[in-house]
């Protein structure tokens, strides 16, 4: 069951959805579509919830504004037709779809060439490109994990138990308490330094699951310029 909480900060109205669960502490999040959520312990008072939300009002408004700007700047849905631009590791490539002897995808200078046995249709081109991006993601993510492993192990970070690759709409990566790292295959559209940042970020969660001082201290030791990389990643729409 959801409750609605309304607060005002600097003459701006913030509407918050509150749900109750078995958590021991309050959890506040802002969703990309502009929804503000609080997940609270079942026995906590509404006064405590309101105080917590009000203390984070500036942070909430900054995230709401950032997500609003990203939504307005978001590109139109891809049509998978020749002539449109597709991103790969931070660079734009012009899609060229044509009929050939076999189904294939490859980069050619400034072009992303997709060939199909039958006359290319948007559905077929999309299917081939999705498979190609997934293959490229698996190869790159595994290579980055291998490259970073000696560095992070020197800081006491264990090896991940499992690597999963998914198409996610709100996160670039996650790390479970069981040691499973999940990376977003859409990272292949971001610049390589941003991909490296996400991999390092999730590896650090193998030691520290929260975003506290210990976590950021570890991340800074492994990747001193992580803030610049994160800032650059924020300009990349998922």
Q: Are residues 228 and 152 in the same domain?
A: yes
Q: What is the DSSP string of the chain?
A: --EEEEEEETTEEEEEEEEEES-SS-EEEE-TTS-EEEEEETT--HHHHHHHHHHTHHHHHHHHHHHHHHHHHPPPPP---TT-EEEETTEEEEEEEEE-SS-EEEEETTEEEEEESSSP-HHHHHHHHHHHHHHHHHHHHHHHHHHHHHHHHTTTPPPPSEEEEE--SS-SEEE-TTSEEEEEGGGGGS-HHHHHHHHHHHHHTTT-SS-SHHHHHHHHHH-TTHHHHHHHHTTS--
Q: Are residues 145 and 224 in the same domain?
A: yes
Averaged pLDDT, groups of 10, the chain, 238 residues long: 85 90 84 88 89 93 87 78 94 94 94 95 96 97 96 94 93 94 96 97 95 96 96 84
Number of other CB atoms surrounding residue 140 within 10 Å: 18
Number of other CB atoms surrounding residue 115 within 10 Å: 18
| CA nearest to 205, candidates 183, 232, 186, 189 | 183
Q: Are residues 112 and 149 in the same domain?
A: no
Domain boundary residue, one of 112, 129, 146? 129
Given this model, what pLDDT does residue 42 score? 84
Rounded Cα–Cα distance for residues 79 and 121 (Å) = 10
CATH number, domain with residue 189: 3.30.2010.10
- CB contact at 8 A, 131 and 149: no
Q: How many domains does the chain have?
A: 3
Q: Considering the domain boundaries, does residue 79 fall inside one?
A: no
Q: Are residues 191 and 204 in the same domain?
A: yes
Q: Considering the domain boundaries, does residue 11 fall inside one?
A: yes
Q: Considering the domain boundaries, does residue 238 fall inside one?
A: no
- Is the CA virtual torsion 41, 44, 45, 50 positive or negative? negative
Q: Are residues 202 and 229 in the same domain?
A: yes
Q: Are residues 36 and 99 in the same domain?
A: no
Give 190-200 pLDDT, tens digit per residue.
Answer: 999 999 999 99
Q: Does the reported pTM lie above 0.85? A: no
Q: Considering the domain boundaries, does residue 142 fall inside one?
A: yes
Given this model, what pLDDT does residue 92 score? 93
Q: Considering the domain boundaries, does residue 80 fall inside one?
A: no
Given this model, what pLDDT does residue 50 score? 92
Q: Considering the domain boundaries, does residue 22 fall inside one?
A: yes
Q: Are residues 58 and 146 in the same domain?
A: no
Helix axes 192-204, 226-233, angle to 10 degrees: 120
Q: Are residues 114 and 146 in the same domain?
A: no
Q: Are residues 226 and 161 in the same domain?
A: yes
Q: Are residues 143 and 89 in the same domain?
A: no
Q: Are residues 35 and 112 in the same domain?
A: no
Q: Domain range spanning residue 24?
A: 3-73
Q: Considering the domain boundaries, does residue 117 fall inside one?
A: yes
Given this model, what pLDDT does residue 166 score? 95
Cβ-based neighbours of 153, under 8 Å, separated by 6 or more: 159
């Amino acid at each position: 069951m959801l409750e609605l909480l309304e607060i005002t900060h600097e003459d701006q109205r913030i509407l918050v959805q509150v749900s109750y669960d078995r958590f021991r502490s309050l959890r506040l999040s802002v969703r990309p579509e502009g929804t503000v959520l609080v997940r609270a312990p079942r026995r906590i008072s509404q006064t405590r919830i309101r105080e917590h939300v009000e203390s984070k009002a500036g942070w909430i408004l900054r995230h709401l504004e950032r997500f609003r700007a990203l939504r307005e700047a978001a590109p139109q849905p891809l049509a998978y037709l020749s002539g449109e631009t597709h991103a790969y590791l931070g660079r734009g490539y012009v899609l060229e779809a044509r009929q050939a002897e076999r189904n294939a995808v490859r980069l050619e200078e400034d072009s992303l060439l997709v060939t199909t046995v039958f006359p290319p249709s948007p559905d077929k081109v999309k299917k081939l490109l999705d498979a190609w991006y997934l293959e490229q993601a698996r190869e790159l993510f595994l290579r980055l994990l291998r490259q970073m492993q000696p560095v992070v192990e020197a800081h006491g970070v264990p090896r991940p138990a499992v690597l999963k690759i998914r198409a996610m709409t709100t996160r670039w990566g996650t790390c479970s308490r069981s040691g499973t790292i999940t990376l977003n295959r859409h990272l292949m559209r971001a610049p390589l330094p941003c991909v490296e940042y996400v991999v390092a970020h999730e590896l650090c969660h193998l030691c520290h699951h929260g975003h506290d001082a210990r976590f950021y201290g570890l991340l800074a030791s492994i990747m001193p310029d992580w803030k610049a990389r994160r800032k650059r990643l924020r300009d990349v729409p998922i």
